[in-house]
Structure 1
């Protein structure tokens, strides 16, 4: 089991990839179609996290199937509650509601990255390293899309950079919870935590990232290619790091 400072160091890697994508968005004028494609890539990456890492690990550890399914549902319900909270705070009809939900989706994704790394570090350091290095590269399009979206919504540069830097909090918080809350706990509880994270991420990818991608620009035949490309990117990174 890794020491906690090392866990925090690993948890900072995905956010570095996200922040790098945001910096690129500051200097590249993103058209609506470019932003839509970046959101498709991000949704593909998040979907791959669920399909390639979270659910296979959750289902392969011998935990009761009903517990995994229940945790998945609770994770989805948690994200829907987050959506309702954001709508209540900023107003569902606000011009910045879409950008706010993209920010929330990326924040939740980074929280889940940290949670995965925290849980992985309790299981083995090598697993935590694989997750951190894979997400370091896979979170780049999410950072680009989030900052480009905020930029297009009229959010000032200082606020954009501040919000981009704030993503570190989500990842470090997730890693802290995953490490301290699950350290020494039973295997079924750890696997249920993975399923909970999968439920959160799946709603974030399908209901927010994809919805915002469709609203930003009309889909073309290439849109699906960018989605599956993001899925393939994370799959390849995970496979190479594991082998």
Structure 2
């Protein structure tokens, strides 16, 4: 139980990233350039989580085809979820902007759930792996929280309600880490690596299909955005080397 409580504490870190993004939305003026820079930074960190930390762990598994298949299935899961959200948005219609705000929140919640799943599974392999995965998701989740709360702010949702929404970011992360921890605790290594590969597929697809295209729409890309992307990758690589 003590190890689970430690894992549960780690799950607060990705949620803190989304919470910080929500708080920034309360104080910072809306800026397309700032959001674009944040998204590029987050994309670099997310790719580093997969490339630097997850894939070297995952590819140690036997048989390797199983974890690679799980990686593809994770990407497919995100695509299906994203298409479902878009389908609901089309059914609701453009005049139902308030409902669309909740759909954005749902998308962030799915992301936080997968973060918790990844951290929970990683912590059953080693505390260091769970810690570094959780640290990497702090900065990566700030843009999602910022966009979500900025949208609710535009809809004139009360400040108190926005604070409750910010605090609720921890719930999907808690659920994900609970499932990730107890589902694989005591299981064979291949089960743990398969679940990690599944979440790595989700994370990679989030970057390619969501973060990067959204960042490109926010502002005409300059070399500064590119530097933020590379800097995000380098930042997580440093965290992995010194804290992993």
For residues 113 and 77 of structure 2, the distance between their equivalents in structure 1, rounded to whole angstroms, comes to 13
**Which SS does the other structure have where 2:169 is aligned?**
helix
For residues 41 and 106 of structure 1, the distance between their equivalents in structure 2, rounded to whole angstroms, comes to 17
For residues 88 and 126 of structure 1, the distance between their equivalents in structure 2, rounded to whole angstroms, comes to 40
Verify the 8 A CA contact 2:42 2:139 in the aligned structure 1.
no
Aligned residue number for residue 223 of structure 1: 225
2:13 matches 1:13: yes
Equivalent positions of 1:186-205 (< 5 A) are 186-205=188-207
CA RMSD of aligned residues (A): 2.7
Greater shift, 83-92 or 175-184, is seen at 83-92
Verify the 8 A CA contact 2:21 2:144 in the aligned structure 1.
yes
Verify the 8 A CA contact 2:43 2:211 in the aligned structure 1.
yes
Aligned residue number for residue 181 of structure 2: 179
For residues 38 and 98 of structure 1, the distance between their equivalents in structure 2, rounded to whole angstroms, comes to 22
Shift of 1:241: 0.7
2:39 matches 1:39: yes
Equivalent positions of 1:129-208 (< 5 A) are 129-148=131-150, 150=151, 154=155, 156=157, 157-158=159-160, 160-208=162-210
Deviations along 1:38-57, whole A, 9 cap, x unmatched? 11111111111111122111
Greater shift, 14-23 or 95-104, is seen at 95-104
Aligned residue number for residue 89 of structure 2: 90
For residues 155 and 50 of structure 1, the distance between their equivalents in structure 2, rounded to whole angstroms, comes to 37
Shift of 1:99: 6.8
Shift of 1:186: 1.2
Shift of 1:103: 4.5
For residues 223 and 127 of structure 1, the distance between their equivalents in structure 2, rounded to whole angstroms, comes to 29
2:58 matches 1:58: yes
Shift of 1:173: 1.4
2:47 matches 1:29: no
Q: 1:69 to 1:234 in 2, by over 3 A?
A: same
For residues 72 and 31 of structure 1, the distance between their equivalents in structure 2, rounded to whole angstroms, comes to 35
Greater shift, 42-51 or 119-128, is seen at 119-128
Greater shift, 157-166 or 170-179, is seen at 157-166
**Which SS does the other structure have where 2:220 is aligned?**
coil
Aligned residue number for residue 74 of structure 1: 73
Aligned residue number for residue 232 of structure 1: 234
Give the TM-score, by structure 2 length.
0.85
Give the TM-score, by structure 1 length.
0.85
Consecutive unaligned residues in structure 2, runs of 5 or more? none
Aligned residues: 240
Deviations along 1:143-197, whole A, 9 cap, x unmatched? 345434x268546345543433232122111101111111111111111111111
Shift of 1:201: 0.8
Verify the 8 A CA contact 2:45 2:139 in the aligned structure 1.
no
